[in-house]
Amino acid sequence: MMSMPSNALSRRTLLGGGLAVAGAALLSARGFARTPAKLPKRTRAPASGEKAISLAAQERPFRLLGAEAPETAIWTYGPEPFHLVRLARGETLSVDFENRLPEHTSIHWHGLRIPNDQDGVPYVTQAPVKPGERHSYRFTPPDTGTFWFHPHCDTAAQLGRGLAGVMIVEGDESRPYDEDIVVVLKDWRLDEKTGGYLPFSTPRGELRAGTFGTVRTANAAIAPRIALPAGGDCRLRLLNLDSTRIGSLGFEGMEAAIVAIDGNPIAPFPLHEWRLGPAMRLDVVVRAPASGAEGRLMDFFAAEPVTLATFVGEGEALKTGSFDPAPLTASDIPEPKTKGAERLRLAFATASGGKAALAIDDDRDPLANALLDSLCSASKTNWSMNGQSWPGGDHSNVPAPLFTLKEGRSYVVELSNETPHVHPIHLHGFTFKVLNSTRAELPVHYADTVLLTPNDRVTIGFVADRVGAWMVHCHLIEHQETGMMGYVRVV
């Protein structure tokens, strides 16, 4: 049984200062008998064929505040919040997307290593999908794992209304778990009397740590109770799909181990607390409570720990041995060659004066030089990357790339946080290897989003194996929309 550790207050104090806690003794505490030195190889052959689905972005009523409370008009891709798409590794996904919203939108497939023209960024990889229009996406995800999809324009409002979905690419288990459950964490900015929305962005939030929601949910419910097979080893796919909130997640009443980060397998190690920022995912295996007993998913990054969901054991116990979770199988992500790799630096800072000025891209790519409309630009520019900010409200062109990379080469990039705030940094199109951090105790792992704490320098490596314009930005959406966004071009 895992309870709140006795030194939790001091750990939360450290978290406030910028340290991420992966486990009580971190990597020295892997300690599972079955965990191999290397992840087992995949023996299951990839699937084939095509899976065709339809998604329609539209407004749908939903009672976020409870059965007796007023309805809220949420935006979804399907009949339920956070529409789930499952497919097998090797399957091709064909999407018929229809926009039934009053404004244009698109779908970005977060964390998926897919062709650039399928990445879903308006004015950069595709034209926006206008109200009443349809758009087709088609790709074959090369990796298994837990991913998600969302709009990439007017994101604070569209994501704030719930426009997001979950994608699971199956085929990574070395043996089946007893249950596989998705848990989506998201806040909502709601007037609890009417069910209507409060402003999604505020000047203070844009300039600081973001504008927080007033109602916290798991799977669009307030502190839901979720049944698990008693005593079973259950896979919980935790997704932080909030625009702002960073949680320090852990469990009470259940043993837990991390088996994947951003969908990418890692040798299992004990979970005590893990700092999960916007857009980040964590696959966890838990030993479910005994029949009738309870365990809780907690956020310890608060004055008082918050219960996000309660898990209830049901049925006769399935396991009697010690907790020893099966690892996932190894992925096929390209391994960056750090020795001799070109080294780059990307500094995240506030914007001021000339540093925020727009630099025009001279290659005259018709998409890269397309006019921006008011939905895809902000009235203020607060943040920068290497002194360059994404265009504000009076800018009419996409900026020059932050870097031009050569296809097939390995790159090592130092991400430097020169602000007093936390930034979850996401790179489109590539899964990078987190090599080290100067402030946070992190295992070496693969990810597509990494949390930069104040004054932190995180070093990542990746192989630039596909051409195109690939976005890099802070996934704290108010920071993204007020300047902290750019792109790299691979040629």
Portion of the chain with pLDDT greater than 70, in percent: 86
Q: What is the pLDDT of residue 22?
A: 45
Q: What is the pLDDT of residue 203?
A: 93
User: Which of 487, 482, 476, 485 lies closest to 159 in space, CA to CA?
Assistant: 476
pLDDT band (50, 70, 90) for residue 196: very high
Q: Which residues have C-beta within 8 Å of that of residue 365, sequence separation ≥ 6?
A: 469
pLDDT band (50, 70, 90) for residue 347: very high
How buried is residue 478: exposed, middle or buried, by Cβ count under 10 Å (0-12/13-18/19+)? Answer: buried
Q: Can you give the pTM of this predicted structure?
A: 0.91
Q: What is the CA radius of gyration of the chain?
A: 22
CA 318 – CA 69 distance, rounded (Å): 38
pLDDT beyond 60 at 177: yes
Lay out the sheet containing 342-350: strands in order across. Answer: 383-385, 342-350, 410-417, 457-463, 432-437, 445-447
- How many other CB atoms are there within 10 angstroms of residue 297's CB atom? 27
- How many other CB atoms are there within 10 angstroms of residue 2's CB atom? 19
Q: Which of 22-26, 309-313, 316-320, 450-454 has the lowest mean pLDDT?
A: 22-26
- 3-state secondary structure (DSSP) of residue 350: strand
Longest CA–CA span in the chain (Å) reads: 67
pLDDT beyond 50 at 366: no
- Given a contact cutoff of 8 angstroms between Cβ atoms, the answer to whether 475 and 277 are in contact is yes
Using the 8-state DSSP alphabet, how is residue 221 labeled?
B
- Mean residue pLDDT of the chain comes to 89
- 3-state secondary structure (DSSP) of residue 174: coil
272-323 pLDDT, tens per residue? 999 999 999 999 999 999 999 999 999 999 889 999 999 999 999 997 799 9
pLDDT band (50, 70, 90) for residue 146: very high
User: Which of 144, 110, 105, 107 lies closest to 428 in space, CA to CA?
Assistant: 110
CA 248 – CA 23 distance, rounded (Å): 11
Buried b (16+ CB within 10 A) or exposed e, 184-220: bbbbbbbeeeebebeebbeeebbbebbbebeebbbbb
pLDDT band (50, 70, 90) for residue 379: low
User: Which of 430, 384, 423, 425 lies closest to 407 in space, CA to CA?
Assistant: 430
Q: What is the pLDDT of residue 320?
A: 77
Q: Which of 21-35, 176-190, 212-226, 352-366 has the lowest mean pLDDT?
A: 352-366
CA 106 – CA 111 distance, rounded (Å): 16
Q: What does the DSSP assignment read for 34-93?
A: T--SSPPPP-SPP--SEEEEEEEEEEEEE-TT-TTSPPEEEEESSSSSSEEEEEETTPEE
Q: What is the pLDDT of residue 20?
A: 41
pLDDT beyond 90 at 5: no
CA 184 – CA 219 distance, rounded (Å): 5
pLDDT band (50, 70, 90) for residue 392: low
Q: What is the pLDDT of residue 394?
A: 35
Q: Would you say the C-alpha torsion 428, 431, 435, 437 has a positive or negative sign?
A: positive
Which uninterrupted H or E stretch holds 138? Answer: strand 134-139
- 3-state secondary structure (DSSP) of residue 295: strand
pLDDT band (50, 70, 90) for residue 399: confident
Portion of the chain with pLDDT greater than 90, in percent: 81
pLDDT band (50, 70, 90) for residue 397: low
Residue 248 to residues 289, 377, 423, Cα–Cα distance (Å) = 22, 32, 15
Q: What is the pLDDT of residue 359?
A: 34
Q: What is the pLDDT of residue 380?
A: 77
pLDDT beyond 80 at 374: no
22: left (phi over 0), alpha (psi -120 to 50) or beta: alpha
Q: What is the mean pLDDT of residues 27-43?
A: 68
- How many other CB atoms are there within 10 angstroms of residue 45's CB atom? 9
Q: What is the mean pLDDT of residues 246-267?
A: 98
Query: What are the backbone angles phi and psi of residue 41, rounded to the nearest 5°?
Result: -75, 155
- Given a contact cutoff of 8 angstroms between Cβ atoms, the answer to whether 430 and 361 are in contact is no
CA 408 – CA 415 distance, rounded (Å): 21
CA 153 – CA 402 distance, rounded (Å): 20
- How many other CB atoms are there within 10 angstroms of residue 48's CB atom? 10
- Amino acid identity, position 117: D
Higher-confidence residue: 432 or 23?
Answer: 432
Q: What is the pLDDT of residue 303?
A: 86
pLDDT beyond 50 at 7: no
- Helix/strand/coil (H/E/C) assignment for every residue in 403-445: EEECCCCEEEEEEEECCCCCEEEEECCCCEEEEEECCCCCCCE
208-231 pLDDT, tens per residue? 999 999 999 999 999 999 999 999
Q: How far apart are the first and last CA of the chain?
A: 52
